[in-house]
Amino acid sequence: MNPVALLTPTYGRDLEICTLLCESVDRHVTSFSKHYLLVPDCDLSLFAPLASERRVIVPASAFLPDWLRPLPRIVQRKRRQFWWSLRAKPVSGWHVQQFLKIAATISLPHQRYCILDSDIVFFRDFDLARYEYPNTIPLLQMDGAVTADQPRHSRWLETSHQLLGLPTPPFPAPDFIGHIIFWDQQTTRALTERIEAATGLSWIEALCKTREFSEYLLYGFFVQNDAASALRHTVAPNTPCISYWDDPTLSKDELTRLLLRANTDDVAFSIASFSGTPVETIREVVAESDAILAHNAHFQPAGLAV
């Protein structure tokens, strides 16, 4: 048995929504080994109450090199924390969360990982048994989704191929960024080895110097170009998560309608933090959804699946 481990990089400002994620994981997610919360060292005490037999709070310093250190909280820009070194310009907490996903995947004692951002909330049951090693895992691949008129994504496309020592493909190109992402440990180790061979630097120093990159594009394009890694994955055009990336704040009724439009395979949703949708609103809608599911299960005729 090689159950999947869950990884969530997070930080203090996301404590409330991360708490909701953890509650929803405990209610709906099964067949996983451990849920690791990867947090800045200064936020350990904030997340300590979320620790349990199956949830471990891990300080960022456990996976970062000694030469990359957090700047004091008083040295912040727009309330964002930065890490500094003598090897590259300071990197933001957003960069560090990407480093932590890679470093935790290659260092922790598991062969398969499911990466969950703080803002994901499960509203249906999700059994991870099918993704245990040596079964294949999904590789989210949305063909033709990256176009030349997307400045950030097109730049990430370029840097991903530079870091992997590959020629940049023409547009439109596939996108690998989404929610509920699965990674394989052996593949991730091979990815870091490829970066180091292509750049002549440690993988984390190469990423610090690059700055503009996407860990999901790196992983996806590596799998696409590595035959052995491709065999461990099955290409999937979407993930079982509803995503809301717009700016307007969602009301309770709007969020409820969003969930009512869910496909039968959708098990979770993610509301972008910049929408300003209150966590309490999300919590109320999730509680009502759980109550409906419990009611339906109670009245389901014997012998039929919910």
Residue spans of the domains in the chain: they are 136-178+198-239
Which strands, in side-by-side order, build the sheet including 268-271?
120-122, 268-271, 241-244
Helix, strand, coil % (nearest 5) of the chain?
Answer: 45, 20, 35
pLDDT class for 305, splitting at 50, 70, 90?
very low
218-234 tens-digit pLDDT: 999 999 999 999 999 99
160-207 tens-digit pLDDT: 999 999 999 999 999 999 999 999 999 999 999 999 999 999 999 999
Query: Is the pLDDT confidence value at 300 over 90?
Result: no
pLDDT class for 274, splitting at 50, 70, 90?
confident
| Residues linked to residue 36 through DSSP beta bridges, in sequence order | 7, 56
pLDDT at residue 302 in the model: 46
Q: Who has greater pLDDT, 58 or 301? A: 58
Query: Is the pLDDT confidence value at 306 over 60?
Result: no
Contact by Cβ (8 Å): 76, 82: yes
| Residues linked to residue 122 through DSSP beta bridges, in sequence order | 268
pLDDT at residue 296 in the model: 56
pLDDT at residue 190 in the model: 98
pLDDT at residue 202 in the model: 98
Query: Is the pLDDT confidence value at 304 over 50?
Result: no
64-80 tens-digit pLDDT: 999 999 998 766 666 67
The rounded mean pLDDT for the chain is 93
97-121 tens-digit pLDDT: 999 999 999 999 999 999 999 999 9
pLDDT at residue 248 in the model: 87
| Residues linked to residue 242 through DSSP beta bridges, in sequence order | 269
Contact by Cβ (8 Å): 290, 297: no
| Residues linked to residue 43 through DSSP beta bridges, in sequence order | none
Compute the average pLDDT of residues 134-138.
97
Contact by Cβ (8 Å): 204, 85: no
Burial class, 99, CB count within 10 angstroms (exposed 0-12 / middle 13-18 / buried 19+): buried
What is the gyration radius of the CA atoms in the chain, in angstroms? 20
Closest CA to 193 of 172, 166, 163: 163
pLDDT at residue 171 in the model: 95
22-54 tens-digit pLDDT: 999 999 999 999 999 999 999 999 999 999 999
pLDDT at residue 74 in the model: 67
Q: Could you give the CA distance from residue 213 to residue 163 in angstroms, rounded to a whole number? A: 9
Query: Is the pLDDT confidence value at 284 over 60?
Result: yes
